[in-house]
Structure 1
Amino acid sequence: MDLHQHLRLMADYHAWALDRLYAEVDALDEADYRRDCGQFFGSIHGTLNHLLLVEHLWQARLQHTVYPASGLDQEIESDRARLKQRLCGFARGWRPFVDALDPATLAGDLSYRSLQGQDYRLPYASLVLHVFNHATHHRGQASIGLLQLGRQAPVMDLPFFLNELPAHTLHAA
């Protein structure tokens, strides 16, 4: 599997894993959904909001634009249903984004500025992978929040996703 195929696979996995997470999150009442569980961004809502914010930040950077954000804890969607719609929709948008990347872009670097004003120049493909790794990190935090609230944490491991794919697609993502 080449890098572009792997990025396609990770984009599909990202959307799948969020769907699995929301299957559990949707069962929470409003108080538990917003309860501070000691995560980086407090509640499950705060964690999922952060994930949406960062997806906007990185997609803008990867498109050589800037997403206006005041900080990584900025709430960009207070409504629970709308947050789910936006986050899951954004996750599904990574596949067409990745599909459209040309080999030269993937092989190159990306220059961007952090929210703190620091300039970076890093491998473009590694930063696309970072988007999916970052999401995995915070889906894990949301899973811990679910467990702390006495709920089930969904199984979101990549091998479970791969086992759901038809065999002929495993090497042709």
Structure 2
Amino acid sequence: MQDTRNIRMLTRYTAWANDRLLKALGQLPPGEVTAPRATSFGNMIRTLNHAYVVDLIWQAHLEGRPHGFTSRNTDATPTLAQLQEQQQGLDGWYIRYADGLTAPTQSEIVHFNFVDGGKGAMTRGDMLLHIVNHKTFHRGYVADMMYQVPARPPSMDLPVFLRDAAPDLS
């Protein structure tokens, strides 16, 4: 049951860290979240939109349905407010999904197709761990871009979440 507890905690951590970062981005001077940056997605908002799209793709895999994406980002970029609202809703879905996992369902293997067409198979628990890790990776990119503004990113470390915001999941 420790694994299930950790997955539940990590989905909550992700929602907390996403919320902190998105609120901090809202405090930046106008235009900074869309300003061109030396990064693979071009700017802060497109980087976070990529993470959101990937969340949608893995949600579809977990639900056993097609996701409809042919790319890991969208042509149109949402506003920061739109992305924040959409990400909060999806973070809530992941928390509820993790809360519904049992040890047997967490170990269940799900077969899926990657966006590039390749075949994949992972356990539900490993899929959730990937989702958490993927967003942590891209929040780090955005935190680095904030230093380029210059602005200080919020603390989004797991120990800070455990100290300040983690619910008792025992």
* Structure-1-length-normalised TM-score: 0.90
Residue 42 of structure 2 is aligned to residue 50 of structure 1? no
1:75-86 matches, cutoff 5 A: 75=75, 77-86=77-86
- Secondary structure at 2:122 match in 1: strand
1:12 corresponds in structure 2 to 12
Whole-Å Cα distance in 2 between the matches of residues 31 and 63 of structure 1?
37
Residue 114 of structure 2 is aligned to residue 114 of structure 1? yes
Q: Is the alpha carbon distance of 1:99 and 1:54 closer, same or farther for their aligned partners in structure 2, counting shifts above 3 Å?
A: same
Q: Which structure 1 residue ranges, 5 or more long, are not aligned?
A: none
Whole-Å Cα distance in 2 between the matches of residues 92 and 40 of structure 1?
28
Whole-Å Cα distance in 1 between the matches of residues 165 and 152 of structure 2?
24
Q: Is the alpha carbon distance of 1:31 and 1:162 closer, same or farther for their aligned partners in structure 2, counting shifts above 3 Å?
A: same
Whole-Å Cα distance in 1 between the matches of residues 10 and 99 of structure 2?
12
Whole-Å Cα distance in 2 between the matches of residues 153 and 31 of structure 1?
17
Contact 1:13 1:161 in 2 (8 A): yes
Q: Which structure 2 residue ranges, 5 or more long, are not aligned?
A: none
Instruction: Provide Cα deviations, 1:67-94, integer angstroms capped at 9, x if missing partner.
Output: 1112113246523211111112211221
Q: Is the alpha carbon distance of 1:86 and 1:76 closer, same or farther for their aligned partners in structure 2, counting shifts above 3 Å?
A: farther
2:143 corresponds in structure 1 to 143
* Structure-2-length-normalised TM-score: 0.92
Q: Which amino acid aligns with 2:48?
A: L
Aligned length: 170
1:95 corresponds in structure 2 to 95
1:25 corresponds in structure 2 to 25
Contact 1:46 1:75 in 2 (8 A): no
Whole-Å Cα distance in 2 between the matches of residues 115 and 92 of structure 1?
24
RMSD of aligned Cα (Å): 1.7
Aligned-pair identity (%): 26
